[in-house]
């Protein structure tokens, strides 16, 4: 029985201050002696990094689109084990979810994968963060609409953000009282609480390091003083207890786990400032499938000794292209690794790093394409099918993934694609690149939603560790 108290921090719209409030709330609860489990609704990698700094433990995602609605409860139960309270930061507006072809005909007022959807799945109450800078008495009508739009979503309180004055606060409190919602926090306009951003949103905490810690400390102090923590904890305790069993990485890859005594293959996972995107469950599944997981920083490190397989996730290589290019031993090591038929899985930033070059800087040259940063944002969920066998995915395997980038790759028409999907207007196309050993594309997938791919990848690494190699097409850059 999972009865960990939980509260969902939502908002009427993006830009209302959810991340600042959530991070400060997590930090304030921790400072008050709570063991906090932090979560983020949706595929976002950056916000959980700040949550982790505030909580002192890993931040996790809850995304029905990437893992399926049935897995959200078990993942929440696993991620909140050992905690005495959980804070779940929402995504966009409370009811904003994936826009599907049949969304207009759906009887469910909450969009699929929305904050409201996840709140219902885990039985948690919602606290609404409102950007009050443009509100007065009409706030009551806004709140009335949110309360009545989907009665199955329990909105239990309001945090008033960007309040201008004592008089403004008084009017807003009266508006909240008219609809019966208690005010559980008031924040005045404070530019000092803004977290630096760039082209894809907030700068990841892993890149800011000491600055990120100072920013989180400031959020914790300011927001902790502005919120009614006892009221929020009391609201969290109204979460409905669920009988959902916790997700287990060992059970998820049970069919692909090695026999007892088998040699553990070494899987090197890229990290550091350039590659900050990843889900906590990935490493857990790799270990459960029998891998010895070793981290490395492509800005400085060579390929770890005895590496059998490599994972290069997402991040911001365009911000570190010169330093990545300067690490010639690693670039050469990756090219040799791939040429020898050893497995590599790369997502988004990893794809760019495996290219011949990125914005004129030489990269690993594993894939015969050129990466370029652009002004165009590509963003959205994709229902994809693998069209080439690789170390991670079998031809015909279907996944739902997510794209999020402002770059493109040029060339590669002579290479075998990794995926096929239809875009938002129904146009079919192929994407990414794959062969027997290498799978690289812009598509981010959640490993917990695709555990067979992790087991397959570790099995490929184990094959390499035993002295074999995988079939490789001639796709290296010349």
CATH number of the domain enclosing 137? 3.40.50.300
What confidence category does residue 35 fall into, taking pLDDT thresholds of 50, 70 and 90? very high
Asked whether residue 474 carries a pLDDT value surpassing 50, the answer given is no
- Whether residue 65 is predicted with pLDDT greater than 80 in this model: the reply is yes
Q: Contact, 273 vs 206, CB < 8 A? A: yes
What is the tally of structural domains in the chain?
2
What number is the average pLDDT over the span 391-420? 95
Q: In this predicted structure, what is the pLDDT of residue 189?
A: 85
CB 291 within 8 A of CB 265: yes
109 and 258 in a single domain? The answer is no
Banded model confidence at residue 192, pLDDT cuts 50, 70, 90? low
With residues binned 3-state (H G I as helix, E B as strand, rest as coil), the percentages for the chain, rounded to 5, are 35, 25, 40
CA 115/CA 10 separation, integer angstroms: 7
| Cβ pair 175, 143 in contact under 8 A | yes
3-class secondary structure, 9: strand
* Cα four-point dihedral sign 41, 47, 48, 53: negative
Range 188-192 average pLDDT: 78
Q: Looking at the domain assignment, is residue 1 inside a domain?
A: no
**pLDDT, tens digit, for every residue of 280-313?**
999 999 999 999 999 999 999 999 999 999 999 9
Strand order in the sheet with 85-89: 60-62, 36-41, 85-89, 6-10, 126-131, 155-163, 183-188
- Mean pLDDT (whole number) for 385-391: 96
Residue 15 resides in a domain? yes
Return mean pLDDT, the chain.
Answer: 92
Which among 11, 348, 458, 461 is annotated as catalytic? Answer: 348
Asked if residue 149 and residue 173 are part of one domain, the reply reads: yes
Q: Which of 236, 262, 288 is the last residue before a domain boundary?
A: 236
The DSSP letter of residue 246 is P
Buried-exposed string 21-37: b where 16+ CB fall within 10 A, e elsewhere = bbbbbbbbbbeeebbbb
The span from the CA of 223 to the CA of 394, in Å, is 48
Domain assignment present for residue 107? The answer is yes
Q: What is the DSSP letter of 202?
A: E
- The reply to whether 470 falls in a domain is no
| Section 417-433 average pLDDT | 91
Are residues 260 and 130 part of one domain? no
Rama region for 350: left / alpha / beta (φ>0; ψ in -120 to 50; rest): alpha
Domain final position from 212, 236, 260: 236
Q: Do 229 and 254 fall within a single domain? A: no
Tell whether 243 is covered by a domain.
no
| Pick from 306, 303, 310, 351: nearest CA to 327 | 303
Q: Tens digits of per-residue pLDDT, 322-335?
A: 999 999 999 999 99
Helix (H) or strand (E) holding 352: helix 349-354
Using the predicted structure, report yes or no on whether residue 99 has a pLDDT greater than 90.
no
Strand, coil or helix: 98: strand
Same domain? For 230 and 345 the reply is no
Say if residue 269 is in the same domain as residue 226. no
CA distance 133 to 91: 20
Closest CA to 313 of 396, 245, 401, 388: 401
pLDDT digits (tens, 9 = 90+) for 112-151: 999 999 999 999 999 999 999 999 999 999 999 999 999 9
Within a domain: 474: no
Is the pLDDT at 345 greater than 60? The verdict is yes
**CATH code, domain with 338:** 3.40.50.880
What's the pLDDT score for residue 102?
A: 60
Structural domain boundaries enclosing 105: 6-236
- Sorting pLDDT into bands at 50, 70 and 90, what band is 466? confident
Q: Write the DSSP string, 356-379.
A: SEETTEE---SSS-EEEEEEEEEE
**What is the distance between the alpha carbons of residues 326 and 300, in angstroms, rounded to a whole number?**
9
- Phi and psi, residue 347, nearest 5°: -120, 125
Which helix (H) or strand (E) is 405 found in, with range? strand 398-410
Specify whether 76 is located in the same domain as 207: yes
The per-residue pLDDT for range 205-241, each reduced to its tens digit, is 766 677 888 889 999 999 999 999 999 999 999 998 8
257 with 163, same domain: the answer is no
pLDDT in tens, 77-90: 999 999 999 999 99
Same structural domain, 225 and 345? no
pLDDT at 104 over 60: no
Q: Are residues 60 and 159 in the same domain?
A: yes
What is the pLDDT at residue 477?
A: 41
Q: Which of 97, 117, 45 is nearest to 404 (CA)?
A: 45
Residue 103 has pLDDT above 90, yes or no: no
DSSP 20-74: HHHHHHHHHHHHTT--EEEEEESS-SHHHHHHHHHHTS--EEE-HHHH-HHHHHH
φ, ψ at 156 (rounded to 5°): -115, -5
Q: Evaluate whether residue 476 is within a structural domain.
A: no
Cβ atoms within 10 A of the Cβ of 412, count? Answer: 17
pLDDT band at 459 (very low <50, low <70, confident <90, very high): very high
Nearest to 344 by CA among 210, 252, 460, 237: 460
pLDDT score at 42: 96
pLDDT given at position 256 = 62
| Last residue of one domain, picked from the residues 205, 236, 267 | 236
Q: What is the DSSP letter of 254?
A: G
Same domain, yes or no: 108 and 47:
yes
pTM above 0.85, yes or no: yes
pLDDT digits (tens, 9 = 90+) for 255-279: 766 655 667 999 999 999 999 999 9
> Is 176 one of the annotated active-site residues of the chain?
no
CB 313 within 8 Å of CB 277: yes
Does 409 lie in the same domain as 326? yes
pLDDT score recorded for residue 476: 45
pLDDT of the residue at 193: 67
In a domain, 385, yes or no: yes
């Amino acid at each position: 029985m999972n009865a960990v108290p939980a509260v969902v921090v939502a908002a009427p719209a993006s830009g209302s201050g959810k991340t600042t409030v959530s991070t400060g709330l997590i930090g304030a609860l921790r400072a008050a002696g709570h063991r906090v489990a932090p979560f983020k609704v949706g595929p976002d990698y950056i916000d959980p990094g700040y949550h982790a700094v505030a909580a002192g433990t890993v931040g996790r995602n809850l995304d029905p689109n990437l893992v399926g609605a049935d897995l959200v409860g078990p993942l929440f139960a696993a991620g909140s084990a050992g905690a005495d309270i959980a804070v779940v930061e929402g995504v966009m507006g409370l009811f904003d979810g994936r826009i599907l072809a049949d969304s207009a005909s759906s009887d469910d007022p909450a969009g699929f994968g929305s904050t409201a959807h996840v709140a219902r799945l885990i039985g948690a109450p919602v606290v609404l963060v409102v950007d009050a800078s443009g509100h007065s008495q009409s706030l009551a009508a806004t709140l009335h609409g949110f309360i009545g739009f989907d009665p199955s979503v329990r909105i239990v309180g309001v945090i008033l953000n960007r309040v201008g004055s004592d008089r403004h606060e008084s009017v807003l409190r009266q508006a909240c009282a008219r609809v019966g919602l208690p005010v559980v926090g008031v924040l005045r306009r404070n530019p000092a609480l803004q977290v630096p951003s760039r082209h894809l949103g907030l700068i990841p905490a892993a890149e800011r390091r000491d600055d990120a810690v100072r920013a989180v400390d400031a959020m914790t102090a300011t927001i902790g003083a502005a919120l009614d923590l006892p009221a929020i904890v009391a609201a969290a305790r109204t979460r409905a207890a669920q009988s959902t069993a916790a997700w287990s990485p060992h059970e998820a890859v049970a069919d692909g786990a090695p026999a007892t005594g088998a040699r553990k293959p070494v899987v090197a996972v890229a990290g550091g400032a350039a590659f900050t995107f990843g889900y906590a469950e990935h490493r857990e599944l790799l270990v459960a499938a029998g891998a010895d997981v070793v981290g490395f920083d492509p800005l400085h490190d060579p390929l770890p000794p005895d590496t059998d397989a490599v994972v290069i996730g997402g991040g911001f290589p365009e911000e570190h292209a010169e330093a990545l290019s300067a690490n010639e031993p690693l670039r050469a090591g990756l090219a040799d690794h791939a040429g020898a038929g050893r497995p590599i899985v790369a997502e988004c930033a990893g794809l760019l790093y495996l290219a011949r070059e990125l914005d004129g800087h030489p990269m690993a040259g594993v894939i015969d394409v050129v990466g370029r940063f652009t002004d165009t944002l590509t963003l959205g969920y994709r229902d994809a099918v693998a069209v080439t066998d690789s170390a991670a995915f079998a031809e015909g395997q279907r996944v739902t993934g997510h794209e999020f980038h402002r770059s493109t790759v040029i060339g590669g028409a002579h290479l075998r694609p990794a995926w096929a999907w239809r875009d938002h207007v129904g146009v079919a196309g192929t994407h990414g690149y794959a062969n027997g050993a290498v799978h690289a594309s812009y598509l981010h997938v959640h490993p917990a939603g695709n555990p067979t791919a992790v087991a397959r990848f570790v099995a490929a690494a184990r094959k390499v560790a035993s002295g074999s190699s995988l079939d490789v097409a001639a796709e290296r850059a010349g």
